[in-house]
Structure 1
């Protein structure tokens, strides 16, 4: 028990641990893991991944998604997003998806972590944080996966793109758009179109 109590001193509520994390504090990690699971100190989220839940007035809280994904990947370089964010653009998407997408450099595939499904996709390039421009580009990248009328959504996307910051949108298309997305959005991010929009805005503000 003394060794188990010593291990517990290293654990912090709200944190997610891998078996390898615990092994640095225990020479009998599997036996101690069994004990920690039995007494409720840890909860198993997936193979080799465990959570030390926080206690609130409403019971034990689930782990924060970013903490969970960071521990699973053993990497800080990822972007957590969801197809549900497309609905914020106002381009005709209304579906709600029980799925979180994780762009990262290491893992690919769908994984259940706890009771949540995550779609891990290896990408060479993704931003540090979500922006409206990236969300729009990501929508077009995943247009074929949408449940809505794709042609209607694309028409609305092109109209929406005309109202966005031209420079930021062009930057997102260049860095994060697939070849197909670049082709579809070419009419609204072309140099000619951007210069035309700037000129039109300049006239509008001058009047």
Structure 2
């Protein structure tokens, strides 16, 4: 068995590997990687990153966004989201964006992985999961970058906020809101609090 074949034995379909993940299995990792790429065994998807394609009856399944990001960051503490997630809030955003946003602790800037653009946003605070409360705050944080009628969206956001769990929303505003977002949503939280006292 050739050394390149031995390297191939270590690979699992559907996984993304960094060059340094594979150095223990090869005495000439660059040559072997180049050979496996030429043979179509591996896809080179970014500088120093390779995908071992998973096959289905319909052909090759591209790597999942989560797998790409985890391998790129060498970290699983990140939140992968997109402006499309706002549409679930039903506040008037309907556009579809080809944009992936990655909140993480390490990297900042735009990166191309496997032909897709990922916007890495380095921030100390983000939730493990994009809750409706987080998405609402995130939407207001990025209101200026949306293609929709912002005033209409904002009016709907205020209405939506009032129907949410006030404690969860308050936490999301405090933890993740930009200064402008806090200014916009704090009066709503105050109103919700005084309503709660009336009941």
Q: TM-score, normalised by structure 2?
A: 0.96
Contact 2:77–2:105 (CA<8 Å) still a contact in 1?
yes
Deviations 1:9-67 (A, max 9, x none): 11111100011111121110110011110111110111111100101000010011111
Question: In structure 2, what is the equivalent of residue 21 of structure 1?
Answer: 21
* Matching residue of 1:111: 111
- 1:114-125 correspondence to structure 2 within 5 Å: 114-125=114-125
Residues 112 and 118, structure 2, Cα contact 8 Å, conserved in 1: yes
Task: Tell me the residue number matched to 1:69.
Answer: 69
Is 1:195 matched with 2:197?
no
Q: How high is the TM-score relative to the length of structure 1? A: 0.93
**Deviation string for 1:56-96 (max 9, x for gaps)?**
00001001111110000011110000000111111111111
Give me the CA root mean square deviation. 1.1
**For structure 2, which runs of at least 5 residues remain unmatched after alignment?**
none
TM alignment of 1:58-207, pairs within 5 A: 58-190=58-190, 193-199=191-197, 202=199
Gaps of 5+ in 1: 203-207
User: What does the per-residue CA deviation read over 1:93-118, in whole Å, with 9 as the maximum and x for residues that have no partner?
Assistant: 11110011000011111111112111
User: Is this contact kept in 1: 2:102–2:119, CA < 8 A?
Assistant: yes
Is 1:34 aligned to 2:5, yes or no? no
Aligned partners of 1:29, 1:189: CA distance in 2, in Å?
57
Q: Distance in 2 between matches of 1:115 and 1:6?
A: 29
SS in 2 for 1:94: coil
Segments of 4+ moved more than 4 angstroms: none
Q: Which secondary structure state, in structure 2, belongs to the residue aligned with residue 35 of structure 1?
A: helix
Residues 80 and 103 of structure 2 are in contact (CA less than 8 Å); yes or no, is this contact kept in structure 1?
yes
